[in-house]
Every structure is written in structure tokens, then in C-alpha cells.
């Protein structure tokens, strides 16, 4: 299910986190994809806010998301955080994930520590952040390791994003079609 409003983005991280520019760049990437498709939808502004969600809580949410991607309770820290898409740049050790609560117009994007493999590989953090934002805008996984949204249950893993050149992996034709169906040229926020 797509967004019915322009989703604002709040990043919770340590000041001067090296991944902050990657978040901003990923939003620019997604907005350029929407423009290229002829969609009127865009991700909203990115704001930074003090605070975080404890790494242990994120690890538990990550595990729950991997085991059961269905409905889950909305964590208080996400509910009360400003913005619709709450991106947590954590120092924790868990599988990066996204969880959406459409009824509350909220999504949580949790990114594991940049000091842990495979996030230490060049180009990986950039694509993991963009991949998780893809889930926040309603894309699922595919099984093509050459595509940005490759993931479970396929054997795709983030280390496949490693590259000496900074770039985003592409979207599949089916994903582009889905985005335009969810967010057409005449899309308007409610």
C-alpha cells in the first residue's frame, strides 16, 4: 500500500553520523526515480532529531520483522517521533529493516552500525539505506542480485552492493511499473 500523503522523514542518529549524507542522497535518488517515471509523488523533507531507539529494541524488532513481516504493535518511540518515516542510524548489530504501520502513517527504517560487516564495504551503506527506503514506499523484495530490492527469501545479501564506485543498483521494470501504479502522474496528497 502506498502513501496517501507526502511522507516527511526524520533521522535519529548521533550528531555528525557519516551516514546522514547517504540518507539525504537516497531521498534525492528516490525523488529522481519518481520524476523519471512521471509520478507526482515525492518523499518529503529530511529533518534530524535528537534521540534514538535502543539497539536492543531495534534488534528485537529486526528479528520479529524477519520472522513475521505481518502486523506488529507500533513502538512508542516511533509513534512519538516527528515525521512519517523515522530513520534510525543505529550503532547496533541487527539486520537492517523497515516496518510500516499504514494505519498510523508511520514507517521505521532501522540501519545497523556502519562499523559492522557488510556496512564497512564501499557502496554498501548507500544501497542498504536506499533499499530500506524502497520498503518504506511500499516495494517488496525480488530475487535478482543485480537489483536494488533483492532480498529474502532469495539468497541476495547486502555485500553484493559492494563496489569501488558510488552508485545505486537499479530497480526492476516490474518495480517501476508498481511505483507508477501506486503513485501515478495525478497523485495528490489527501
Interatomic CA distance for residues 115 and 119, integer angstroms: 7
Interatomic CA distance for residues 28 and 99, integer angstroms: 21
Least reliable range by pLDDT among 19-23, 35-39, 153-157, 165-169: 153-157
pLDDT at 68: 80
Paired sense of beta strands 85-89 and 46-49, if any = unpaired
pLDDT bin (cut points 50, 70, 90) of residue 62 is very high
- Cα 144 to Cα 2, 22, 125, 152, 179: the distances in Å are 23, 23, 19, 11, 18
pLDDT at 109: 98
pLDDT at 71: 78
The DSSP secondary structure of 8-60, one letter per residue, reads: -EEEE--TT-TTHHHHHHHHHHHHHHHHHHT-------EEEES----HHHHHH
Are 68 and 30 in contact, with CB atoms under 8 Å apart?
no
Type and span of the H or E element at 101 = strand 97-101
Question: Is residue 69 over pLDDT 80?
Answer: no
Q: How far is CA 161 from the centre of its chain?
A: 15
pLDDT at 52: 85
Q: Which domains does the chain have, with CATH numbers?
A: 9-182 (3.40.390.10)
User: What is the pTM assigned to this prediction?
Assistant: 0.96
Tens of pLDDT, residues 105-128: 999 999 999 999 999 999 999 999
Interatomic CA distance for residues 91 and 51, integer angstroms: 13
Across the chain, mean pLDDT equals: 94
Question: Is residue 16 over pLDDT 90?
Answer: no
Tens of pLDDT, residues 142-189: 999 999 999 988 788 888 899 999 999 999 999 999 999 999 999 999
Amino acid at each position: 500500500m502506498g502513501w496517501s500523503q507526502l511522507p516527511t522523514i526524520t533521522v535519529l542518529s548521533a550528531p555528525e553520523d557519516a551516514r546522514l549524507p547517504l540518507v539525504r542522497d537516497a531521498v534525492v535518488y528516490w525523488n529522481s526515480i519518481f520524476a523519471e517515471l512521471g509520478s507526482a509523488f515525492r518523499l518529503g523533507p529530511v529533518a534530524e532529531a535528537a534521540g534514538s531507539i535502543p539497539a536492543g529494541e531495534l534488534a528485537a524488532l529486526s528479528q520479529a520483522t524477519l520472522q513475521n513481516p505481518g502486523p506488529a504493535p507500533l513502538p512508542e518511540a516511533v509513534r512519538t517521533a516527528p515525521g512519517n518515516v523515522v530513520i534510525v542510524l543505529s550503532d547496533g548489530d541487527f539486520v537492517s529493516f523497515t516496518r510500516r504501520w499504514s494505519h498510523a502513517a508511520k514507517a521505521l527504517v532501522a540501519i545497523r552500525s556502519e562499523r559492522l560487516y557488510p556496512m564497512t564495504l564501499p557502496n554498501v551503506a548507500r544501497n542498504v539505506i536506499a533499499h530500506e527506503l524502497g520498503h518504506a514506499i511500499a516495494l517488496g523484495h525480488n530475487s535478482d542480485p543485480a537489483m536494488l530490492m533483492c532480498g529474502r527469501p532469495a539468497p541476495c545479501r547486502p555485500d553484493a552492493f559492494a563496489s569501488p564506485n558510488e552508485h545505486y543498483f537499479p530497480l526492476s521494470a516490474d518495480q517501476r511499473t508498481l511505483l507508477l501504479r501506486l503513485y501515478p502522474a495525478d497523485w495528490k496528497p489527501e
